[in-house]
Structure 1
Amino acid sequence: MSDDAVSVPGFHNPEIFEVLPNACLSPTARDVFDVLTARQEPGGLVKIRQQDIAERLGLTQSVVSRAIGQLRDKGILSERQRKGTVLIHPLLAGYESLSHMVNHLKDPDTFVWPLNFPTGDIRPPRARDARTGTDFDPDPDGGEDAPAPEARPTLRLAG
């Protein structure tokens, strides 16, 4: 990218990224998606060739093509794009701010296609999860609130 490129999108919808594991992406598809999100313009348009992704990840172009196919099958990427560009789903795309995202999604010209994976509940760990059957406890407090600190820190205004 050049120095005069568009501003880097810094705001992502946090709720949709919580359910992204439900898409059950292969590790390669997840790596490709990470490259695409890092290279996107605000709104999700990515100008990159599969060959460039393959070189960046040290993979063959056919492996990257299969990963992009999986991302399209799940609805994470648009089916209809020009050669050399990819469009990330508007709910997964990065934006300059929350208001930019809301305005983009409300725009009648924005096409929001369906995601092809469950987005209702966070799925439980898979049986092949390395932590299954171990002493790992993701919630060691048993759902209880963390104890409040004894003394509140003093806050100072910068400037």
Structure 2
Amino acid sequence: MNVPLAGFHNPAAWEQLPNARLSPTARDIFDVLQGRQEPRGHVRITQNELATRLNTTQSAISRAMSELRDTGLIHARTRHGQILIHPLYAGYESLAHMVNHIQDPDTHLWPLAFPASDIRPPRRCDPHPTPDGDGGEPAPTPAPRPHLHLAG
């Protein structure tokens, strides 16, 4: 069977993906799903296969899959071994196929549960905000504590 490649993705949607604030395991699962999907976001894989592929426990996979369902990146009603990626994050054969699928009245677009804004989680390389909030001026030095003598 010759299945067309799902090589085209919606770049505007992918810019918003960091706003989902996925755990590392959920992000790894989403990456595996993206790589294994057929066009329009259909993926045939079980949680056991994901656990083996990612070298983790089935309970960790289950928690991460729940996280993906809660954010709306995968459909909440998945069958055993069949997962559906949200149409905005699914892969398509081309831009025309994506537009036709999303505009089709039979396509179910369920809501995404993360903000679609420029907010992103902080990264380690981001500069730390100054604690005093006055533009980086040094904080005043605290008054010295009196020296205490122990009786004895």
TM band (smaller chain): 0.7 to 0.9
Q: Secondary structure at the match of 1:86?
A: strand
Larger radius of gyration: 2
1:75 corresponding residue in structure 2? 72
Q: Secondary structure at the match of 2:39?
A: coil
1:130 corresponding residue in structure 2? 124
Instruction: Tell me: CA distance 1:131–1:79, structure 2 relative to 1, closer, same or farther (3 Å).
Output: same
Q: Secondary structure at the match of 1:43?
A: helix
Structure with more of its chain in helix, by fraction: 2
RMSD: 1.2
Please give the alpha-carbon distance, in whole angstroms, between the structure 2 residues aligned to 1:81 and 1:5: 24
Preserved CA contact (<8 Å) 2:19 2:121: no
Give me the identity figure in percent: 56
Please give the alpha-carbon distance, in whole angstroms, between the structure 1 residues aligned to 2:73 and 2:120: 21
Q: Does 1:36 align with 2:30?
A: no
Alpha-carbon offset, residue 132 of structure 1: 2.4
1:141 corresponding residue in structure 2? none
| Alignment TM-score, normalising by the size of structure 1 | 0.77
In the TM superposition, 1:100-115 aligns within 5 A as: 100-115=97-112
Please give the alpha-carbon distance, in whole angstroms, between the structure 2 residues aligned to 1:73 and 1:125: 18
Runs ≥4 residues deviating over 6 A: none
Q: How many residues align?
A: 128
Gaps of 5+ in 1: 135-159
